[in-house]
Structure 1
Amino acid sequence: MRKTLLALASTVLLAACGTTEAPVTEEAGPSGSPSAATRISVTDSRGKQVTLDRPAAKVVSLEWAETEMLASLGVMPVGAADVKGYGVWDTAAKLDASVKDVGTRQEPSVDSISALQPDLVVMEAERDSALVAQLEKFVPVLVTKGSDGTDNFKRLRDDLTMIATAVGRTDQATKLLTDLDAALADGKEKLAAAGAAGKPFAMADGWKQGSTISVRLFGKGSLVSDVAERLGLKNAWTGKVDEQWGLGTTDVEGLTALKDPETRFFYNASDGEDVFADGLASNAIWKSLPFVKKQQVTKLPPGIWTFGGPLSCRQYAEALVKAYAG
C-alpha cells in the first residue's frame, strides 16, 4: 500500500469551515478591468477571505479530492499533484492529458506551479502552512478543510461549493450535490428492499511492512462512513479513530472486535497490493473472522477514492448497494 496512506490520518485543526459569497454579474470598470463589484470573495477554511477579480480559469490543485472536484465541475486543472497516482486511485473524473504534474502531494514543486501562471491554487488544510506563504507570493491560494470527523458529508458540500464559487461553477456544484443526494436516496430504498437496512459494515485498507500487516479502519466520522450511513447501514467499527478523518489503525488481531456475523467487510486496494486476499490468505485469525467464514468480504472496484468528491461518493455508494442488493 502506498506510503502516502500513512500520512492521511495526520491532522491540523484550523478555524472555520469554508463559506462563500455568491459572485455578481461581471462588469468592466472605467479602465476595462473588472470593477470591485465584479470580484468573487471566498472565505476559506483558514477564515481568510480570498478575492479574485474574476472566476479562476487556470487552477492548480494539490490534492486528489480537489482535483476531482474541479474536473467534475468542468474546470480542468492546468496542473495537479501526482497526476499518475490520481489516475490509479481516483477514476471518478478523468483528467486531460494536458494537465501538468507539479510534484507529489506531500512536496509539490513551487517552481512547477509558478511556471503554469495559475489564477488560483487549491490545497487542503493539513498541508504545510509554509507552502501557503510561498505560493501566496505569486498566486491566490484557496485552502479547503479536506475532512471533518464531526460531519464529513457537510464538509464535502462546503468544500465543493467554495471551490465552485471561486471558479464560477455554482450551478454545476448544485447539480453534483443534487445527483448525489438522489443516488443515496435511491440506494437506501434498494438496500431496504433487499432487507439490508441497518446491517453492519466495516471499511478498511491495509499495507504490509516487512512481515507486519497494518489495517486502517474507516470509523464513524470518515467520509465513506457518512455515505454508508446515509444508505441506511451501520458502521461496525467502534474502535478509536482520529477526530479529523475518522480513521483508526489496528492489526489482524484487532479485527476480532468485529463479532457481528452480519458484518460485511469492504476494502480498497487500487494499487494492486491486496494484503487481504494475498497477505492474509493463510492467516488463522483472518480465516476465523465471521465475515471471512461467511464470504462477506468485498474488494471495491479499483479507483474509488475514499477521500474524494461527490462522484467518488457515488461510486462508493453504488459498490455498497451492489454488494448487499445485487
Structure 2
Amino acid sequence: MKKLLTRLMLVISMLTILAGCGTAKESTGSETKSTSAAASDNNKTVENKHTIKDARTTLEFDKIPERIVVLQWQEAEFLLALGIQPVGFADIPNWDLWVNIEPKLAADVVDVGSRVEPSLEAIAELKPDLIIGTLSWHEGYLEQLESIAPTALFETSINGTNYTNEYDKMLDTFREFGTFFDKEAEAEAVIAKLEKTISDGQEKLKDAEFPTKEFLAAMAYSGTQAPEFRLYNNRSQTATLISKLGLTNALTEPKGDGTFDVTNVEALTAFKDVLFMHIVQDTDNVFENNLKGASVWEDLYFVQKDQMYGLGGDTWPQGGPYSAITIVNKTVESLTSAEGK
C-alpha cells in the first residue's frame, strides 16, 4: 500500500509539472496601464518611461523594476540570461530537477510556492515592484497579484499569432525583455551564443552516418493509468531546433493545433525507421519501470534497432535561449556518442 501511495504521489506531481508545457490561447489587447503613482505627472512623457507588452496589455514604468517575482520558468530563464536574479521564484525544487542551464538560480532566491498555485503571502512579503507570470495559469490570480505589484502575464503559445513555431516567438520575447531591462547587448550576446551552438552542431553532424535522418522527439512520463508520450511537431521549439541540425521530423501530421500530441505507446507503432529522441526523468523512467518486456514496446522498430537517443530529464522543451542551447548540445552529444552503434 505504501508503494502504491508513493506511485500515485509521483504521478500527480509529474502531471502538475507537465501542465506547464501545454499551450493556451493568447488574449490580445491594446490597453495601456500605468504602474506608477507619478504617471499622471504632466512632466512625464512616454519617451521617459520603460514599457513592456505582455499577452494582455502594455505596462509602463518610470524606472526599471529591480525586485522581481517570476512565476513561470521561461520568463525566469529570460531574466537569468540577462544577468538578473529574481527575489522570488515559483517551484524551485522542480526547476532544479527539469532545467539544467547556466547561469544558475541564486541560492537566496525565495521559493513562492508552486507555479499553479503560488503563495500570495510569500510574494507580498518580498515587496516586489514587478510580478511576471503566465496568462493561462495566473489570470485567475490577476486581481490579487496586482494588489501586490504591477503584474505582466506572458504566454508561450503561438496560437492566434503570426508565428509558425514557438522558437521564433521565444527569441522575440527574449529580445523584448532585453529592451525593457536596458540589456539589449546582453540579449544579443546570448542569442549569438545560441546561434553558434546550432552552427557548431550542424558541423559536427554534417558527415555523421545514421540509419536514417528522420527523428521523433518525445517526452515520456507516467500518466494516470499508463505511460504517456508527448510527441513534438514542427511548431515546437524542440523539433525546430533538432531540425536545424539537419534532421527531419517524422511527425508530419499532428493531431491538433498545439506544439505536441499526447499519446500512448500503441500510437508509436506508426513510426518505423526513426531516431527516437527522448526526454525522461531518472525518477520516472517509464522505459525501464513500465515498458521493458512489454511486447507493444519491444516490438517497435526503433527499439529493436536500438535507435533511441536520450536527451536527459533536465532538458526543458519550452524554455529560453539557454534551454535551447541545452537541447542542441544534448542532441549532438547523444547522436555522436551513439554513431555507428
Q: Distance in 2 between matches of 1:156 and 1:210?
A: 31
Kindly indicate whether residue 15 of structure 2 is the aligned counterpart of residue 3 of structure 1: yes
Q: TM-score, normalised by structure 1?
A: 0.86
Q: How many residues align structurally?
A: 309
Greater fraction helix: 2
Q: Distance in 1 between matches of 2:46 and 2:267?
A: 58
Tell me which residue corresponds to 2:50: 40
Q: Distance in 2 between matches of 1:88 and 1:52?
A: 34
Q: Distance in 1 between matches of 2:76 and 2:145?
A: 18
Kindly indicate whether residue 154 of structure 2 is the aligned counterpart of residue 144 of structure 1: yes
Q: Aligned letter for 1:89?
A: W
Tell me which residue corresponds to 1:264: 275
Q: Distance in 2 between matches of 1:162 and 1:42?
A: 7
Maintained 8 Å contact 1:76/1:99 = yes
Maintained 8 Å contact 2:90/2:118 = yes
SS where residue 195 of structure 2 aligns? helix
Between 1:83-92 and 1:187-196, the stretch displaced more is 187-196
RMSD over aligned CA atoms reads 2.5
Kindly indicate whether residue 224 of structure 2 is the aligned counterpart of residue 213 of structure 1: no
Between 1:33-42 and 1:85-94, the stretch displaced more is 33-42
Tell me which residue corresponds to 1:61: 70
Maintained 8 Å contact 2:309/2:335 = no
Q: Distance in 1 between matches of 2:250 and 2:216?
A: 6
Identity of aligned residues (%): 29
Kindly indicate whether residue 263 of structure 2 is the aligned counterpart of residue 250 of structure 1: yes
| Runs of 5+ unmatched residues, structure 1 | 19-30
Tell me which residue corresponds to 1:238: 252
SS where residue 228 of structure 2 aligns? strand
Counterpart among 308, 317, 329 of residue 306 in structure 1: 317
SS where residue 3 of structure 1 aligns? helix
Q: CA separation of 1:65/1:242 partners in 2, compared to 1, >3 Å: closer, same or farther?
A: farther
Q: Aligned letter for 2:263?
A: T
Q: CA separation of 1:16/1:175 partners in 2, compared to 1, >3 Å: closer, same or farther?
A: farther
Maintained 8 Å contact 2:218/2:229 = yes
Maintained 8 Å contact 1:44/1:162 = no
Tell me which residue corresponds to 1:325: 336
Q: Distance in 1 between matches of 2:21 and 2:200?
A: 31
Counterpart among 137, 142, 166 of residue 127 in structure 1: 137
Q: Give deviations 1:172-228, integer Å, cap 9, x for gaps.
A: 111111111111122122222214698111121223346522222122211101111
Q: CA separation of 1:189/1:196 partners in 2, compared to 1, >3 Å: closer, same or farther?
A: farther
SS where residue 252 of structure 2 aligns? coil
Kindly indicate whether residue 173 of structure 2 is the aligned counterpart of residue 159 of structure 1: yes
Tell me which residue corresponds to 1:184: 198
Q: CA separation of 1:210/1:157 partners in 2, compared to 1, >3 Å: closer, same or farther?
A: closer
Tell me which residue corresponds to 1:288: 299
| Runs of 5+ unmatched residues, structure 2 | 1-10, 31-40
Maintained 8 Å contact 2:24/2:155 = no
Tell me which residue corresponds to 2:36: none
Tell me which residue corresponds to 2:111: 101
Kindly indicate whether residue 95 of structure 2 is the aligned counterpart of residue 83 of structure 1: no
Tell me by how many angstroms 1:130 deviates: 2.4
SS where residue 206 of structure 2 aligns? helix
Q: Aligned letter for 1:14?
A: E
SS where residue 84 of structure 2 aligns? coil
SS where residue 86 of structure 1 aligns? helix
Maintained 8 Å contact 1:110/1:135 = yes
Tell me which residue corresponds to 1:12: 24
Q: TM-score, normalised by structure 2?
A: 0.83
Q: Distance in 2 between matches of 1:40 and 1:69?
A: 17
Tell me by how many angstroms 1:68 deviates: 1.8
SS where residue 127 of structure 1 aligns? helix
Maintained 8 Å contact 1:146/1:159 = no
Q: Distance in 2 between matches of 1:232 and 1:197?
A: 14
